[in-house]
Every structure is written in C-alpha cells, then in structure tokens.
Amino acid sequence: MSDFTSNFWSIYVAGLTLVSIVACLILLWVSGTTKVAASKDNTTGHVWDGDLQEMNNPLPKWWVYLFIITVVFSLVYGLLYPMFGTYQGVLGWSSDGQHKAEVAKAEKAIAPIYERFKAMPADQLAGDSQAMAIGERLFMNNCAQCHGSDARGARSFPNLTDGDWLWGGSPEAIKTTITEGRTGMMPPMAAAVGTPEDVRNVANYVLSLSGSPHDSVRATLGKSKFGACAACHGMDGKGNQAMGAPNLSDNTWLHGWGEEAVVRAITNGFTNQMPAQASKLNADQIHVLSAYVWGLSNKSAGAAKTN
C-alpha cells in the first residue's frame, strides 16, 4: 500500500519527464554540431539497395525550429498544468475541478425546469408527464444498472414495482434511500440457531410463514429456534423496516426461494449495499427521481392525478 500513499511515483514520473525533455535538447545539439567526414560528392559513404546513398546535409531549419518549439511548448505546458508530479500548475487546473464546473453549469441550465417541481409532492409529480419523463431518464442513467430497465430487479436487487419495501416505501423513505444509500446485512446465524439440522428446520419454518412449500414436521421443530432470527425479523417474521429486515411472510424472496436458498442465507449471511446518490444527483433531481420510484408501485395514485 505504500506505493499508493508515498510520493515516490509522482517524483519518479516528474524526473523521467524532465530527463526526457533535456535528452531531446541534447540530441538536437549533438545532431547540429557533430560533423561527419564526407566524400567529395557530399555523401557519408553509406549505400543501400545498391545505389541509394546517404547525403551529409544538415537538418532542415524548419524541422529544427519545430523541434525547439515542441520542447518549449512542453515546458510551458508543464508550468501551467499539473504535469510534474504533485505540482498543480500555475492555472490550478484539475480534471475534478473541470468536472465540477461543468456539472455546476449544467445544473444552472436545468434549474428552471426543476423549479416547477420543487413544491409538488410525490403523488402530484407521479401524475405529471414531464416530471415522470425526467424521472425515467434519471432512473435509466443511475438505477437501471441494478434494478433493471423495468425496475423489477433481479436476485439480490429489489423489485421496485411490487410495493414490498425493505426500508419503507413512503416518498420520504425512498428519498432518504436514494440520497444516503442503504447497507443491509444478514449476519451468519448458523451458530446461533444450533446444529445443521436446526438450521434446516428453521428454514422450513421460514417457508411456512409465507405458505410456501415446506416440510411441516421440520417447520414445527424450527419454530422454537426461530427466536435467534426474531431480533430483526420479529416473532411473526414480518420484518422491521427501521433495520431493513425483510418481511418473511409475504412470499417475496430477494436472495432466492426454496429450502436450500434459505439454509444458505442462514448459514452464510449476506451484505447488500445501495450506494448513496447525493454525490451524483442534486436535491431537485432526487426529488423527482423519488417520486418516479414511488410511482412505480403506486400507479393508480399517479393515474388518478393525471385524470
């Protein structure tokens, strides 16, 4: 890790760059001052392909001047911009600074569009065709990679259209999720549950909570062991949105369905992360995007507003 925290490589690259520039100047000087003994016909004596002779003419002046201009340009560029190691350059330019400036310029340009949406609650925005068109673009650019273009998700990526919410489905909860991100962790619980047989019994009990196919005998035996899971999921298995603990009784399976999938979850646990979007989207964009996501599972509310 020291390679990434020390200044060695920046100093190394800066030194190599300066040495290269100086070497170019030395090469030009040597080429211009070195005299090669030539014959009376001004050739060097080198012959290729039988009759192709090398002449002993000086370098063209235009080429020499262009070479000098190139070297001077590189030095001026290195003075103005961050070319030599950690030196920031006279202009103080950086790719990060340019990106922020471009983002600020873009946000200023689109601010009038979002101004109309600021005071509108989610149910009104969900019925506004312009807001939803913008929300859809924001979703496609920032959310579809995980949740899919249809927002129906995939294994380990929540379906945003079914009304089943780990952290709450209100507009405020969705906005918090988008802004701050979420980290959901299911710790390995096999040791707390007991033996491998106990784990399999608890898995069948969990399946029974949603009416899924299960072994009723194992489910009965696993009920008493479910207490190790109740701290998060509740004794009734209905979950806890304050903790992001899934509802185990609604037949929605984020990490796979069936006995083996539940056994694997209890044994290994898992961690899911929804990255925060506040660094990518401003508050107005998040407001519209939150309403769009809310509208995906509340289409009737949006349709009512439209009508």
Task: Give the model confidence (pLDDT) of 104-135 as tens digits.
Answer: 998 899 899 899 999 999 999 999 999 999 99
DSSP, collapsed to helix, strand or coil, labels residue 53 as strand
pTM of the model: 0.72
pLDDT of amino acid 5: 66
Q: What is the pLDDT of residue 307?
A: 44
- Parse the chain into domains and list their residue ranges: 2-80, 102-181+275-306, 185-274
Same fold, 102-181+275-306 and 185-274: yes
Neighbours of 251 (CB within 10 A): 13
Closest CA to 203 of 265, 268, 254, 270: 265
> Where does residue 55 rank: exposed (0-12), middle (13-18), buried (19+ CB within 10 A)?
exposed
Q: Tell me, which fold does domain 185-274 have in CATH?
A: Cytochrome Bc1 Complex; Chain D, domain 2 (1.10.760)
User: What parts of the chain have a pLDDT lower than 70?
Assistant: 1-5, 36-38, 301-307
At 240-270, the pLDDT tens digits run 999 999 999 998 999 999 999 999 999 999 9
Which one, of 173, 177, 209, lies nearest residue 276 by Cα? 177
Domain 102-181+275-306 grouped into CATH 1.10.760.10? yes
Q: What is the pLDDT of residue 145?
A: 95
